[in-house]
Chain A
Amino acid sequence: MELGVQYFQTFARYNLWANNRLYKASAELSDEVRRQDREVFFGSLHATLNHLLAGDRIWMGRIRHRDHGVTRLDEILYEGFHELRAARTAEDVGIVAYADGLKAEDMLTILEYRSFTAGTGKTPLPLVLGHMFNHQTHHRGQAHAMLSQAGLAALSLDLLYFLREAEDAPSTA
């Protein structure tokens, strides 16, 4: 039995939910604090949030065979937090719509693409999607550390918490 598309539909909704929480918390900070270099990979919270949007746009562009318009992994797509937040929400809604449109046969697709760092890639679509959602979680983890360091109360971004909140933890098989 092939991996169900519902697996990725769950992650698409989780991503939207977790980003909403993350941006809501980030909005409590001043612009200066969001831009403070905290010596994580992309420096500041603002730069990390931009990187996450850039990463998702890159993958969604590759998956949809559209120009993603991103030129660098550390590109600052939006200097303004409110523009960034609006773009983030739009992207997340688009990812949910894409996931909802997935068909069982799409899980057999092999995606070919040009990587920024590793030449040409040929990767099964389920792994590409698995990577994209894992990448989001990784950088949200970095962002979460920066929010705590900036003095905010910790927010739960746990997937199980989301699932329980959403519909009492259904199976995703």
Chain B
Amino acid sequence: MSTADLFRKLAGFNAWANGKIYDSCAALPDAALREDRGAFFGSILAALNHLLVVDKGWISRIEGVESGVESLDQILHEDMAELRRAREAEDARLIGLCERLDQDGIDRIVSYKFMDGTPAKTALDVILITLFNHQTHHRGQVHAMLTQAGRPSLDLDIIVYEFEREAA
């Protein structure tokens, strides 16, 4: 397994885990999704928006295009159905990016600007491991809020994703 192979797997895992999170959210009333539960980004809806903001930001930096992201707590979509569509599109974009990864260029330097305009450079593989780890961290926060809202617990383990894929 190459680093690029692992990233392809993690991109598939991310889409799968997000699908489970959004399925679980779909069973909650809108007010429960917007309720401030005292997590870093407050509500489930705000935390899911933050995850989309950061993914969009990094993927756009890698692709060298404008992300349209202005702040880390930006609410890109107030409506849950719209947010889900945007999430699915972003996850497909990440899968596509990882499918095209060339192992030889995996540590190429990506030049970009921080949100305040400061120029920065980070290796592509460092960006991607950071991105995947960040997704899991905030899904952990959202998972905590989902069980607090009365939803059953989800199994979001990579190993479970692997078992499901092998069984399929």
Q: Is the CB of A39 within 8 A of B38?
A: no
Question: How close is A15's CB to chain B, nearest CB, in angstroms?
Answer: 11
Instruction: Map CB proximity to B onto A37-69 as digits: 1 under 8 Å, 0 otherwise.
Output: 011110000000000000000000000000000
Report the bound CA distance from A115 to B160 in whole Å.
11
Report the bound CA distance from A123 to B115 in whole Å.
40
Q: Which residue of A lies closest to B10 (CB)?
A: A130
Contact of A159 among B104, B133, B145, B163 (CB under 8 A): B133
Q: Which residue of B lies closest to A127 (CB)?
A: B162
Q: Does A80 contact B (CB under 8 A)?
A: no
- Tell me which residues across on chain B come within 8 A of A4, comparing CB atoms: 3
Q: Does A94 contact B (CB under 8 A)?
A: no
Q: Does A135 contact B (CB under 8 A)?
A: yes
Q: Which residue of B lies closest to A48 (CB)?
A: B144
Question: How close is A29's CB to chain B, nearest CB, in angstroms?
Answer: 14
The answer to whether residues A173 and B3 also contact, given A138-B156, A148-B39, A160-B130 and a CB cut-off of 8 A, is yes
Q: Which of B59-67, B76-84, B87-95, B135-143 contacts A (4 or more CB under 8 A)?
A: B135-143
Q: Is the CB of B6 within 8 A of A130?
A: yes
Number of residues of chain B lying within 8 A (CB) of chain A:
44
Question: How close is A151's CB to chain B, nearest CB, in angstroms?
Answer: 8
Interface of B is mostly: helix
Q: Does B106 contact A (CB under 8 A)?
A: yes
Report the bound CA distance from A74 to B147 in whole Å.
16
Q: Is the CB of A40 within 8 A of B126?
A: no
Q: Does A105 contact B (CB under 8 A)?
A: no
Question: How close is B72's CB to chain A, nearest CB, in angstroms?
Answer: 11
Number of residues of chain A lying within 8 A (CB) of chain B:
48
Report the bound CA distance from A118 to B163 in whole Å.
8
Q: Which residue of A lies closest to B160 (CB)?
A: A118
A3-B5, A107-B1, A140-B140 known, 16 other contacts, Cβ within 8 Å: A7-B129, A39-B147, A41-B153, A123-B159, A128-B159, A130-B158, A134-B158, A137-B137, A138-B139, A138-B157, A141-B141, A148-B38, A158-B134, A158-B137, A171-B125, A172-B123
Binding site for B on A (CB under 8 A): 1-4, 7, 10-11, 14, 38-41, 107, 115, 118, 121, 123-124, 126-128, 130-131, 134-135, 137-146, 148-149, 154, 157-160, 163, 169-173
> What are 26 sample pairs from A and B whose C-beta atoms fall under 8 A apart?
A3-B1, A3-B2, A40-B144, A41-B153, A123-B159, A124-B1, A127-B9, A127-B162, A131-B158, A134-B136, A135-B157, A137-B133, A138-B137, A138-B156, A141-B144, A143-B140, A144-B140, A146-B144, A149-B37, A149-B39, A157-B137, A169-B122, A169-B123, A172-B123, A172-B129, A173-B125
